Structure 1
Amino acid sequence: MTIHPEDLRTAEVRLHQLHQRLGGVAYGGDYNPEQWPREVWLEDAKLMQQAGVNLVTLAVFSWSRLETSDGVFDFEWLDTVMDLMHQHGIGVDLATPDAVPPAWLVEQYPDIMPERPDGSIFGFGSRQHFDVSHPVYTAKSLALAERMGERYANHPALCMWHVGNEYGPVSYGPWAEKAFRGWLQRKYSSLDELNEAWSTSVWGQIYSDWNQVRVPAQPRTWSNPSRRLDFHRFTSDSMLEHFKAERDILRRHSPDLPIVTNFMRFYKTNDYWAWAAEEDAAALDIYPDPREEDAHIAAAANFDLMRSLRQGQPWMVMEQATGAVSQWSINVSKLPGKMRLGSYQAIAQGADAILFFQWRQAKGGTERYHSAMVNHAGPNTRIFREVSELGQELKSLNGLTGTRSTAKVAIVFDWDCWWSLELGNSPRSDLNYAQEVLRFYRPLFQANVTVDFVNAHSDLSPYGLVILPASYLLTDAAAKKFENYVTKGGRLIVSYLSGIVDENNTIRLGGYPGALRNVLGAWSEEMHPLAQDGEQVKLTTADGGTYSADYWTEHLHAETAHVVASYSSGRLSGSPAVTRNPFGQGTALYLSARVDDRLFQQLLDDELLSAGVEPVLDAPAGVQVRRRSGNGLNFLLVLNHNDAPVQVDVLDGGIDRISGRPVQGPVEVPANGVLVIEEGAGPWH
């Protein structure tokens, strides 16, 4: 889905007003005062001031406290907290709490609970325990949103609205089934059209009445892949419709305030391209595992995705952890300085809000070991000192909010591709789409090349290089868009398992990759995934270089394309493995195999050079550099992800906003250190 320019401008005005009101970068997190006695609330407000907090998210899980029984409401406690926040100069991001339907509602309407594919029912005691298609759930949650909008729209503490929390529950129950059938009837004009789209003549699955069409619950063996793809689409759409219904209620009461919900990292259930178009900003919950040495690279990809979802508009970190989380098998705490570094990394990649889950660490419940801004030991701790220091530092970044980054490289990331590729019963059912995307993203990140993510609806004209990693499902229109891009001089890199199926998840005939055969100037007659873990074949390039490939190979034929590398061992020995096709004014590179990192880096370097793409700044390994521009200012952000200091040449220099010191030429950046340089400012300018 594309975003109308007027909608973008309106959202930007709302966000600009938010940051003006907050005094710059939004800083704070989820606050759950209902978990604590009232005498703690005043202490919290004073500690928030000490920590530099200017925004808290309230009421995310508070439905049972706001509506204590059917139609009986208690807003007094929330009134008190809202007033307290305002008295201490702290803004409120007020949430509609429908992620946790209360026990009394579930008791009255037990079929609100989602049903699993095997027919079993979710139990009460966690969260997200609802079928979004249930009419009572819809009516009750919208009614509560209406009451909250009426009551708080004009409260002086209210800065923005937060709808729901981490939308995601999937149900296969009767209410979902009824809604799915209605969704299909709106999409397909007749059963004949549905039967054709789903290839129901295979295995005799032809439908003769709409009442026969059900959700794809757990079958005896494999299930129709086109039907399952449509169910993925329906699930995302049905939750989005609920979000939009609440958003519209709140918008009527607060037309000038931003409205968001929180996304999750590489989350498969919801198509965030469609979701982001309906919000004022993308907002992300991000919890990298500190045990992973390169966790910051996967985080970076998620950050760039959030920045890209609304065409480069600044976004929000809605949740992150100060230390340990409670979701891994071993919950390692972040080392000193890592929380600060990760926060600045998000800012470097376009975030204008740094928020945490949560303010005060719970003493009971499921997430009692999830770290917070104030941990179990209280404020006299390393974590609270780091939280407070960061809060004070962020106040020095005036002028940064609203600025943007520019990219000349784009990677295609598409939920239809993701859903269709991972349905199983395919040549490699173990393929992980997000990991394939990361494999292409990682060397670009390490080279300090700024990357946008795009989908089939995006404008490709700003980019010198576009990459399609395992873009399994492509419509005719999308394939034509990529052809036109190359024709006009663009450079395209396409990996195996791209262009294989159409929008109905039906194989394109005539050789793989069907949708892209013309622009690639090559075709495969057969897929040859490698059977054993670690199995490799040898490759030889046209200039005599020797490399290897693993995981995936294809029996490829070059038509108009030049052969860049060939298989030199195994059953495909002598056949092309990598081709480059001149097409119009541009070129298209095809990787029919998962080539080794060394060859991929060489190919990527050649494409970047030919496309005229340069890094933001040459820097040592482990140093990330990004630039944000706007408001008549340019900021160069330098982040050292190494655990040792490094020397970086910042060339033109400027003023480091954090320290206030002028910076020019070679400068030492401490281990896990950060520079936020206002370029062009300093005594030498």
Structure 2
Amino acid sequence: MFHFGVDYYPEHWPEERWATDAQLMQAAGVNTVRLAEFAWSFLEPEAGDFDFDWLDRAIEILHAHGIQVILGTPTASAPPWVMAMFPDSYKVNENGQRRTYGNRCEFCPTHAGYRERGRLVTRAMAEHYADNPAVIGWQIDNELNGRCYCPNCRAAFQNWLRERYGTLETLNAAWGTIFWSHVYTEWSQIPVPVETGGVPNPGLDLDFRRFMSDTFVHFQQEQVDILRQVCPMQFITHNFMGFNFDQIDYFKLAQPLDVVTWDNYPRTGWRLEKEVNHAYVALGHDTMRGLKRQPFWLMEEQSGSGGWQTVGINPRPGEMRLWTYQAIAHGADAMIYFRWRTARYGTEQYWHGVLYHHGQPGRRYDELKAIGGELQRAGEKILGAENRNPVAMILSYDTRWAFQGQQNHVDFHYPALFTSYYKALHNRNIGVDIVPSDADLSRYRLVIAPALYILPQETADNLRPFVQNGGMLITTARSAV
């Protein structure tokens, strides 16, 4: 089945409205919804006091209308009581300032207390919904992001370094700490690269970025382990953020998941360009497909204007359909639109959904319904389609992070260079796979590795036989530095 649906927040609306929403969804061909990724306050209003009754009723109504459910673990946005329980669990920004309550993703990903509360709510949800026939899968957290520079992270970073290097002599040699007399004699002396320390040692800076990426991978893995144990028949995913996001090694984050899903917003309140850069959207799709070398899902596809403090550009008539089929052409096996109904309150009042604030069907609903009808007729024929492309581009997160610390030139930008090569191929209708540096390259005629600044021996050993066997390799300046 081609999964076609919306992100739905029944907790935002009177319960007597839920049946109407389910009827409208069913009429539009919706067969899947995502629920509860921001509902921790409703799911656990007080520590250990879990309330699933309201969610049970919502799921029952949706299931009665032929709609399956993906549940989100709610750890991206904690209730006030969780953060009050652990005042030191707020992230510390790069400038050394600790965050306060009021947005989302404020938590430090290394904080033991916060992670324990996350495990507890995840397990409670998993045990309650393991045998629910309507629940088909889980989304872990929401758009994991945000490096932290707090004392907990500093201690965890020092432990990570000890495991990576073994001895301080090895670390000092790798980082070249003899420069400026920065030779470390105790692990506890090693800082995190906050702004107050000035421009950091490049080795320290790169390793901290690696460490924070690994920290989020481990944060996710704790919830993966619970879900695998308690509800092994339900799939597990996370909603990624495309090519543009650069804080986590997405190849590593995707590894333990069953399927990659991602959030695509071609028009938001932060980008007011008149025309959408379709090549850049395509790059996002191809990057997500490349994370596991398999079809992916859209967990949040734009349906209305996006924005927080300001209103973005509303998708033009037909753009929802255009973006849907562009995603399918690049390997999407599911399409979930954000969001079902525009919120009347909160930070995302201006982030419009399929329905307007008043909840009545309009142009965007009609477009959703038309797409749903088309996919009901064609969905099985396109499900699981394989993209067989002649070109691969190597995406290196190590290289990306190294350039974040040492840009090399004020006008140089690794993502822009990478995108320029991709766009040249896209404009000539040449399909591209985005792959890691250890990928099997034998199927490709051409491999492009722009500015492969970090070039481990393993990567060189992977590229050499590809070229020796007749493959074409294109690289650029700033490679193997």
- The two structures have a TM-score, normalised by structure 2, of 0.96
- Please list the CA deviations of residues 1-34 of structure 1 after superposition, one character each: whole Å capped at 9, or x if unmatched: xxxxxxxxxxxxxxxxxxxxxxx21111211111
More displaced 10-residue stretch of structure 1: 394-403 or 283-292: 283-292
The DSSP-based 3-state class of the residue aligned with 1:379 is: coil
Assess, with a 3 A threshold, how the Cα gap between structure 1 residues 244 and 365 changes in structure 2: closer, same or farther. same
Output the amino acid matched with 1:300: A
Partner of 1:369: 350
- Please list the CA deviations of residues 621-676 of structure 1 after superposition, one character each: whole Å capped at 9, or x if unmatched: xxxxxxxxxxxxxxxxxxxxxxxxxxxxxxxxxxxxxxxxxxxxxxxxxxxxxxxx
Partner of 2:261: 283
Q: Could you tell me how far apart the structure 1 residues matched to 2:289 and 2:53 are?
A: 38
Q: Could you tell me how far apart the structure 2 residues matched to 1:420 and 1:68 are?
A: 43
- 1:293 Cα shift? 2.8
Q: Could you tell me how far apart the structure 1 residues matched to 2:315 and 2:354 are?
A: 13
Q: Could you tell me how far apart the structure 1 residues matched to 2:403 and 2:168 are?
A: 26
Partner of 1:129: 106
**Larger of the two Rg values belongs to structure:** 1
Q: Could you tell me how far apart the structure 1 residues matched to 2:474 and 2:274 are?
A: 29
Partner of 1:143: 120
- Please list the CA deviations of residues 436-494 of structure 1 after superposition, one character each: whole Å capped at 9, or x if unmatched: 11100112111111101122110111111011112211112212322221111111111
Match of 1:446 among 427, 430, 435: 427
- 1:296 Cα shift? 1.2
Output the amino acid matched with 1:209: E
Matched, 1:32 2:14: no
Output the amino acid matched with 1:485: F
Output the amino acid matched with 2:231: S
- Please list the CA deviations of residues 293-324 of structure 1 after superposition, one character each: whole Å capped at 9, or x if unmatched: 3521100011011111112x110011121121
Partner of 2:63: 86
The DSSP-based 3-state class of the residue aligned with 2:448 is: strand
Output the amino acid matched with 1:141: G
Equivalent positions of 1:231-250 (< 5 A) are 231-250=208-227
Q: Is the 1:422–1:429 Cα contact (8 Å) retained in structure 2?
A: no
Assess, with a 3 A threshold, how the Cα gap between structure 1 residues 430 and 71 changes in structure 2: closer, same or farther. farther
Q: Is the 2:155–2:188 Cα contact (8 Å) retained in structure 1?
A: no
The DSSP-based 3-state class of the residue aligned with 1:366 is: coil
Q: Could you tell me how far apart the structure 2 residues matched to 1:189 and 1:80 are?
A: 54
Q: Is the 1:422–1:431 Cα contact (8 Å) retained in structure 2?
A: no
Aligned residues: 475
Partner of 1:210: 187
Output the amino acid matched with 2:99: F
Larger relative contact order, structure 1 or 2 (CA cutoff 8 Å, min sep 6): 2
Equivalent positions of 1:578-593 (< 5 A) are none
How much identity, in percent, do the aligned residues show?
37
Matched, 1:378 2:355: no
Judging by fraction of residues, say which structure has more strand.
1
Q: Could you tell me how far apart the structure 2 residues matched to 1:473 and 1:325 are?
A: 36
Q: Is the 2:308–2:350 Cα contact (8 Å) retained in structure 1?
A: no
Q: Is the 2:261–2:297 Cα contact (8 Å) retained in structure 1?
A: yes
Partner of 1:268: 246
The DSSP-based 3-state class of the residue aligned with 1:94 is: strand
- Please list the CA deviations of residues 473-529 of structure 1 after superposition, one character each: whole Å capped at 9, or x if unmatched: 1112212322221111111111121121xxxxxxxxxxxxxxxxxxxxxxxxxxxxx
Matched, 1:407 2:384: no
Q: Is the 2:69–2:135 Cα contact (8 Å) retained in structure 1?
A: yes
Equivalent positions of 1:7-18 (< 5 A) are none
- Please list the CA deviations of residues 572-604 of structure 1 after superposition, one character each: whole Å capped at 9, or x if unmatched: xxxxxxxxxxxxxxxxxxxxxxxxxxxxxxxxx
Matched, 1:346 2:327: yes
Q: Could you tell me how far apart the structure 2 residues matched to 1:493 and 1:111 are?
A: 48
Matched, 1:437 2:415: no
Partner of 1:423: 405
Partner of 2:230: 253
Output the amino acid matched with 2:143: E
Output the amino acid matched with 1:166: E
- 1:429 Cα shift? 3.8
Partner of 1:390: 371
Q: Could you tell me how far apart the structure 1 residues matched to 2:338 and 2:311 are?
A: 19
The DSSP-based 3-state class of the residue aligned with 1:422 is: helix
Report the RMSD for the aligned CA atoms in angstroms.
Answer: 1.4
Q: Could you tell me how far apart the structure 1 residues matched to 2:351 and 2:175 are?
A: 45
- 1:275 Cα shift? 1.1
Partner of 1:324: 305
Output the amino acid matched with 1:467: I
Q: Could you tell me how far apart the structure 2 residues matched to 1:52 and 1:482 are?
A: 47
Q: Could you tell me how far apart the structure 2 residues matched to 1:335 and 1:418 are?
A: 34
Q: Could you tell me how far apart the structure 1 residues matched to 2:106 and 2:189 are?
A: 27
- 1:410 Cα shift? 0.6
Matched, 1:479 2:464: no
Partner of 1:303: 285
- 1:291 Cα shift? 2.4
Q: Could you tell me how far apart the structure 1 residues matched to 2:329 and 2:285 are?
A: 9
Partner of 1:41: 18
Output the amino acid matched with 2:38: F
Q: Is the 1:28–1:355 Cα contact (8 Å) retained in structure 2?
A: yes
- Please list the CA deviations of residues 343-383 of structure 1 after superposition, one character each: whole Å capped at 9, or x if unmatched: 11000100001111211110011111112121224333111
Q: Is the 1:423–1:429 Cα contact (8 Å) retained in structure 2?
A: no
Q: Is the 1:320–1:356 Cα contact (8 Å) retained in structure 2?
A: yes
Q: Could you tell me how far apart the structure 2 residues matched to 1:389 and 1:364 are?
A: 29
Matched, 1:221 2:198: yes
Output the amino acid matched with 2:390: K
Q: Is the 2:143–2:240 Cα contact (8 Å) retained in structure 1?
A: yes
- 1:328 Cα shift? 8.8
- 1:292 Cα shift? 4.9
Q: Could you tell me how far apart the structure 2 residues matched to 1:423 and 1:224 are?
A: 9
The DSSP-based 3-state class of the residue aligned with 2:405 is: coil
Partner of 2:88: 111
- 1:119 Cα shift? 1.8
The DSSP-based 3-state class of the residue aligned with 1:399 is: helix
Q: Could you tell me how far apart the structure 2 residues matched to 1:462 and 1:180 are?
A: 39
Q: Could you tell me how far apart the structure 1 residues matched to 2:203 and 2:309 are?
A: 34
The DSSP-based 3-state class of the residue aligned with 1:439 is: helix
Output the amino acid matched with 2:318: G
- 1:329 Cα shift? 6.0
- 1:399 Cα shift? 2.7
- 1:256 Cα shift? 2.2
Q: Is the 1:321–1:370 Cα contact (8 Å) retained in structure 2?
A: no
Q: Is the 1:408–1:450 Cα contact (8 Å) retained in structure 2?
A: yes
Output the amino acid matched with 1:124: Y
Assess, with a 3 A threshold, how the Cα gap between structure 1 residues 452 and 128 changes in structure 2: closer, same or farther. same
Partner of 2:476: 495
Output the amino acid matched with 1:323: G
Q: Is the 2:89–2:107 Cα contact (8 Å) retained in structure 1?
A: yes
Output the amino acid matched with 2:88: D
Match of 1:75 among 52, 56, 64: 52
- 1:327 Cα shift? 5.3
